[in-house]
Amino acid sequence: MSVPIRDILSLGAFLAVTFFAAGIGAQFGPDAWYAALVKPSWNPPDWIFAPVWSVLYATIAVAPWLLWRRSRTLGWPAMIWLTQLCLNSMWSWLFFGLHRPGLAVLEILVLLAAILATVFTFARLDRLAGLLLVPYAAWVTFAAYLNFSIYRLNS
């Protein structure tokens, strides 16, 4: 089965946009300030974050691509998707860049709401597209609790 070149190129575009956003967030990573924070005993090891996020970013890119392949347009779902992607990048800046875990807690809750809106919007249009974002929503739920716990332990 042959895949049309426009589908390959469009998938590349969705991957590029998604990993561009990831790159913005990656500019602000763990540093000496983060290492000095008190963390809960269940805090995952630092090495786990890069592989988990790599897989999640791939699914974040494939989900809207599935919708685009159906109709060659995204409209409102694209706006929701882009919003959550921007919020995703912004969290790293708030938490790691500005060293503001309290503000990052508030932002990650808004991010989680945007992710859930994306999941439900995508699922109504394409079940698989919505399901691809469920692990992302689960991970960000975990990350929100971790962020909150770190904030509480260091306030």
Mean pLDDT calculated for residue range 94-119: 98
Of the chain, the percentage scoring pLDDT greater than 70 comes to: 99
Question: What is the C-alpha separation between 149 and 102, in angstroms, rounded?
Answer: 10
Q: What rounded mean pLDDT belongs to the chain?
A: 95
Name, in order, each residue with C-beta under 8 angstroms of 87's C-beta and a sequence gap of 6 or more.
107, 110, 111, 114
pLDDT score of 9: 92
Q: Which domain holds residue 65?
A: 5-153
pLDDT score of 72: 73
- Extract the tokens encoding 27: 């500019």
Q: How wide is the angle at C-alpha 29 spanned by C-alphas 25 and 33, nearest 5°? A: 140
When divided into structural domains, the chain yields a total of 1
Residue 123: which CATH number?
Answer: 1.20.1260.100
Confidence grade of residue 1 (pLDDT, cut at 50, 70, 90): low
Supply the pTM of this predicted model.
0.93
pLDDT score of 75: 87
CB neighbourhood size of 97 (10 A): 16
The owner of tokens 């990656």 is: 26
Mean pLDDT calculated for residue range 30-49: 96
102 against 73, higher pLDDT:
102
pLDDT score of 22: 96
CA distances from 14 to 25, 39, 66, 141, 148 (A): 17, 35, 10, 24, 31
